[in-house]
Structure 1
Amino acid sequence: MITSKADASVEVTTLDNGFRIASDRMASVETISLGVWVGIGTRHEGAAENGVSHLLEHMAFKGTRRRSARDIAVEIENVGGVLNAYTGREQTAYYAKVLSGDLPLAVDLIADILQHSTYDATELERERGVILQEIGQAEDTPDDIVYDYFQEAAFPDQSMGRPVLGRAEIVAGLRADEIAAYQTSHYRPGNMVLAAAGNLEHARLVDLAVKAFDSLPLGHSAAPEPARYRGGETRYGRELEQVHILLGFEGIGIHDPDYYTGAVLSQLFGGGMSSRLFQEVREKRGLVYGIHSFASAWKDAGLFGIYAGTGEDEAGELLPIVCDELLKLPHDISAEELHRAAAQLKAGILMAREKTSARCEQLAAQLLIYDRVLSPAEIVAKVDAVGVADLARVARRLVAGNPTLTAMGPVGKVMDLESLRGRLQA
């Protein structure tokens, strides 16, 4: 067991099996946010098991050897706490928020559901039906599901492009033994972090964790297949009031030296009401209600994208304007724009530190991604180090790549991919 202090409030202990326990002490609050983050998600699934990570996350709450599904819900709510989870492409999280005196219960509950779930057949069938309803609801929400279609177009025929919720036909057939086997082979202590933030003592958290997490399988999980961005075009004609459009390019991964430059660039281009996209497309031309850019990043890949919802008649005008703004971007970035975008990013980082949940999640994510904790000062310094020339260089890098275009709704007037490529090369 090795314990180190990352900064004045953060301590990290690594057990002999690789399981890490991290805490961020906030003595002025009355609560604790805590959870286990597992470095496993959708991209670790095989094609024939797409959706198993998400189904496993649901089934963890449906009964253990010691507790029924109702017992789990009642015990956490008896103390006014919250217990929940989510699945992503590279991580799955099981987390709680409780009053500081209820830390032992929260640790015990999370340890129990992650080590002793029973995958009861009746509960599995019931929860399978819930997830199929969730998939159907996503299909009925175009400004939600269009992102899944965009991801698949950017990363076709590979795990990075498959939907987090899974495909209905696969989820419908996943068996309890397959879910259990997936957990045993992937939920290994070396890629799991127990993180907590709030009014707690690190030594007490470690003592509780050592006793509670005593049944984790040893060894390491297999690495996922590398992400291979390809791009392309997908169109889904549907009778909708709006056309939902996503245009994107190969982005910047978390470990790329340009990661923070890409984040500042996305903020500047389409991250707020003062951004170029919002001002040009909505305020000046009135073509959309909402438009924004985003920079999604994973360990070995990234996506830079622009989303807009617009009317059928305006759809033909939208993408040419976005292309023109992309082409202008490397040439006329001002110091004022850079300062404003950087200030927005830094404010978001520092304001989040007022919440125990955000500090807990950040702690776990950094350990899974970087194998160390980054201080707020270090992150702010990386944002401050971005210059106008860096933004121009990264803007050229992004737009030079093969685009991805996804449109849903009355798509007849949306510019096609070849025309879009020609416009960007003009």
Structure 2
Amino acid sequence: MPYALGLEPEQLAEEFDYEHGRLVCATEGGNEVRRSVLPGGVRVLTERMPGQRSVALGFWLGVGSRDETQGMYGSTHFLEHLLFKGTPSRSALDIAEEFDAVGGESNALTAKEHTCYYARVLSEDVGMAVDVIADMVTSASIDPRELEQERGVILEEIAMDLDDPTDVAFENFTAKVMGGHPLGRPIGGTPSEITQVARDAVWEHYAKYYTPDRLVISAAGGLEHSEVVQLVLDALDRAGWELPERTTPAPRRVRTPAVLHPEFGDHTVDRAFEQANVVLGSTGLIAGSPQRYAMSVLNACLGGGMSSRLFQEIREKRGLAYNTFSFGGSYSDAGYFGMYAGCTADKAPVVVDLMRAELDRLAEEGLRDRELDKFTGQLSGATILGSEDPGSRMSRLGRSELDTGHFTDLDELHENIRAVTAQEVQDLAADLAGRPTVTTWVGTGAASAANASAS
């Protein structure tokens, strides 16, 4: 069943202690999920996995690239780099050595709506991991000299992405389909934005968003919830963070669909790449949409694997492309859906026509015999296989808390996927096929390929 992770008193009244902000529930496989709201609004969620000897730990902040303002573009990703560069009590080398000394791993990710600093260590070393990451999150130095050095590193990272035609195609598609919405901006910023952003702007962004009420800590593996909570309290106390009692966690993002202004039509990027990389798509579903499970089945059928329609028609039957697939992206107030293929420029117009035709066929004729069972089975199996390790469990907890405040265990996910009907998939396909589209063409001869397709 789904479990409320938030503070809604009408849900799970018997299982949730609202005075102390605690949730306890059992999940599949004998695992146990717990949630505590600490002073300052800090949230700690754990999943105890019997038999595991390691722990995956994540410190999540509900801030992403979409939250940046003029003059701060790129700051969220900049901070991901800078937090590993040291605090008043630890140098960058100290941070690296503490994890290396126990065989642990640490890293971070920046997304459009959240940031996460994470690690995986043996169960006996979780105290060290909590202490180090808490120090990084609460007490980053953001030294001006380190910032200038890291500015060069980030510019190299962006240059690497700009040399990847698939990245270029997807960034262009996202920008056009979002039509000026903050979700359309690149997560890492542009070279000019990174070159211009000032240290004071990065610091201001850090001070605004790295606060106790926005902090979510999730952990999964061989652990005890009460011990993790105490480790967090001790680490935040050492950091000197003020943690007022009865502080309410920061509200989650509002899930009201945004008014988008997509730049429909063909968009070309003529670059010296051997292949043409083409993305065709439209607006999609927002996160939490009732149609999200139908979208998963649709993507599995249309372009989710080697037996999908796009792969079979474009690669296996016609040999027109090495790689082709469909995809979807969902955020709190906007989303997109699309199809991708990489092929030589002279084949690109035919490939685009085939991608359109396969979506139209799914919209008009629906799923073929046995397709529904095949693709719901594929999704169910992939979901379970992808959630066996502590890292996946930790991520599910953190994302659930930030995104919706509800945790759905694997049994419920399996049931929701299996409950999708063929008619729901066909109706969604018809909706998507009827929307105006954005098509991005990237590579040598991109403009010529786009013109050939239009004619």
The TM-score with structure 1 as length reference comes to: 0.94
Distance of aligned partners of 1:417 and 1:155 in 2 relative to their CA distance in 1, 3 Å threshold: farther
Tell me the percent identity.
Answer: 34
1:3 alignment partner AA: R
Establish whether residue 381 from structure 1 lines up as the match of residue 415 from structure 2: yes
Does the 8 Å contact 1:47/1:159 carry over to 2? no
Distance of aligned partners of 1:382 and 1:130 in 2 relative to their CA distance in 1, 3 Å threshold: same
Does the 8 Å contact 2:346/2:449 carry over to 1? no
Establish whether residue 318 from structure 1 lines up as the match of residue 318 from structure 2: no
Structure 1 segment 215-234 matched on structure 2, within 5 A: 215=241, 220=250, 226=258, 228=260, 230-232=262-264, 233-234=266-267
Aligned residue in 1 for 2:163: 140
Mark the runs of 5 or more structure 2 residues left unpaired by the alignment: 1-19
Does the 8 Å contact 1:7/1:375 carry over to 2? no
Cα-to-partner distance string for 1:190-213 (whole Å, 9 max, x where unaligned):
332100111010000001111212
Aligned residue in 2 for 1:423: none
Cα-to-partner distance string for 1:166-212 (whole Å, 9 max, x where unaligned):
01111112222211211221223333210011101000000111121
Cα-to-partner distance string for 1:221-263 (whole Å, 9 max, x where unaligned):
8969946252423211122210000001111111211111111
2:353 alignment partner AA: P
Distance of aligned partners of 1:411 and 1:365 in 2 relative to their CA distance in 1, 3 Å threshold: same
* Residue 361 (structure 1) aligned to one of 374, 387, 395: 395
Q: Distance in 1 between matches of 2:212 and 2:296?
A: 31
1:7 alignment partner AA: A
Does the 8 Å contact 2:253/2:332 carry over to 1? no
Q: Distance in 2 between matches of 1:81 and 1:140?
A: 32
2:86 alignment partner AA: G
Establish whether residue 246 from structure 1 lines up as the match of residue 279 from structure 2: yes
Aligned residue in 2 for 1:270: 303
Structure 1 segment 96-111 matched on structure 2, within 5 A: 96-111=119-134
Q: Distance in 2 between matches of 1:179 and 1:326?
A: 44
Of residues 303-312 and 407-416 in structure 1, the stretch that sits farther from structure 2 once superposed is 407-416
2:23 alignment partner AA: S
Does the 8 Å contact 1:94/1:110 carry over to 2? yes
Distance of aligned partners of 1:145 and 1:412 in 2 relative to their CA distance in 1, 3 Å threshold: closer
Does the 8 Å contact 1:28/1:199 carry over to 2? yes
Distance of aligned partners of 1:387 and 1:7 in 2 relative to their CA distance in 1, 3 Å threshold: same
Q: Distance in 1 between matches of 2:452 and 2:424?
A: 28
Mark the runs of 5 or more structure 1 residues left unpaired by the alignment: 421-426
Distance of aligned partners of 1:19 and 1:416 in 2 relative to their CA distance in 1, 3 Å threshold: farther
Aligned residue in 2 for 1:411: 446
SS of match in other structure, 2:323: strand
Distance of aligned partners of 1:337 and 1:148 in 2 relative to their CA distance in 1, 3 Å threshold: same
Does the 8 Å contact 2:278/2:341 carry over to 1? yes
Structure 1 segment 77-88 matched on structure 2, within 5 A: 77-88=100-111
Cα displacement (A) at 1:6: 2.9
Aligned residue in 2 for 1:352: 386
Aligned residue in 1 for 2:44: 21
Cα displacement (A) at 1:157: 2.1
Cα displacement (A) at 1:47: 3.7
Aligned residue in 2 for 1:6: 25
* Residue 435 (structure 2) aligned to one of 401, 404, 407: 401
Distance of aligned partners of 1:263 and 1:216 in 2 relative to their CA distance in 1, 3 Å threshold: farther
Distance of aligned partners of 1:398 and 1:387 in 2 relative to their CA distance in 1, 3 Å threshold: same
Establish whether residue 291 from structure 1 lines up as the match of residue 324 from structure 2: yes
2:376 alignment partner AA: A
Does the 8 Å contact 2:79/2:202 carry over to 1? yes
Distance of aligned partners of 1:382 and 1:416 in 2 relative to their CA distance in 1, 3 Å threshold: farther
Distance of aligned partners of 1:138 and 1:418 in 2 relative to their CA distance in 1, 3 Å threshold: same
What RMSD over aligned residues (CA atoms) do the two structures have, in Å? 2.0
Aligned residue in 1 for 2:118: 95
Does the 8 Å contact 2:64/2:111 carry over to 1? yes
Of residues 257-266 and 187-196 in structure 1, the stretch that sits farther from structure 2 once superposed is 187-196
Establish whether residue 235 from structure 1 lines up as the match of residue 254 from structure 2: no
Cα displacement (A) at 1:69: 0.8
Q: Distance in 2 between matches of 1:227 and 1:311?
A: 36
Aligned residue in 1 for 2:10: none
Does the 8 Å contact 2:57/2:118 carry over to 1? yes
Does the 8 Å contact 1:196/1:360 carry over to 2? yes
Distance of aligned partners of 1:337 and 1:190 in 2 relative to their CA distance in 1, 3 Å threshold: farther
Does the 8 Å contact 1:254/1:300 carry over to 2? yes
Aligned residue in 1 for 2:289: 256
Q: Distance in 2 between matches of 1:216 and 1:279?
A: 58
Cα displacement (A) at 1:338: 1.3
Aligned residue in 2 for 1:114: 137
Does the 8 Å contact 1:319/1:415 carry over to 2? no
Aligned residue in 2 for 1:424: none
Aligned residue in 2 for 1:213: 236
1:414 alignment partner AA: A
